[in-house]
Amino acid sequence: MLAQSLVAGGYAVQGHPDPWQAAAPWLPVYGSLIDVGCLLLLAWLVRREGLRLRDLIIGFDPRRLGRDLLEAGGILVLFMVLAVGGMLLASLAVYGTAARPPPFGALPLWAALYSVFVWPLLWGITEEITYMGYALPRLEALSGRAWVAVSIVGFGWAAQHIAQPLGDSQWMLFRFASMLPLVGGLPFVFLRTRRLMPFIIAHWAANAFATATSALFPMLGQ
């Protein structure tokens, strides 16, 4: 909300009639501020445990990068099925139609390129280590039950998307409901593999595809 407010403030200074809505398409750009804030907080938290930030990339082994890429392909398929299925069901429930609102809007070329080539990698790393690298194992250890940890992480992960970007009540409900299948399913898969790198790669690829199809490809076709 704070990051979106900064962009909306810029539009307000310029006299835009709806600065908050005008700021929404810039999520893949101002989202980097969110990532930096999360990474700084995580670095502080894990330092108190005697760990480093890279230790949250559970199971990382450069010698297994080829295998991680193969596993990421399978996770990406599951990622897309759960994400598309969740958006379809949420759109039908909230809007009464399968035609969901576009996730991102028109941006200048430089911002569209940033949204495809920089933001997805930073976002994928930050989300995965925040929820599955940091929160999930600790909640599992504290509760002693995997389903409790997954439920808490899944709810928080889905709720995060309410403000990405923050819009009207229908949009917020759609964003929350559409993410539940994805963020409720992936943690169970992770708990079986205990390897985070394939999830980071799959997350990066899915976000890059989403921003390319919504922010970059329409511009190139003009």
Q: Is the pLDDT score of 222 beyond 60?
A: no
d(CA 104, CA 120): 13
d(CA 27, CA 166): 10
Q: Is the pLDDT score of 218 beyond 80?
A: no
Q: How far apart are the first and last CA of the chain?
A: 32
68 close to 195: Cβ distance less than 8 angstroms: yes
d(CA 129, CA 55): 9
**Total Cβ atoms within 10 A of residue 186:** 26
Percent of the residues in the chain that have a pLDDT greater than 90, as a whole number: 78
How confident is the prediction for the chain on average, in pLDDT? Answer: 91
pTM of the model: 0.92
pLDDT band with cut points at 50, 70 and 90 for residue 215: confident
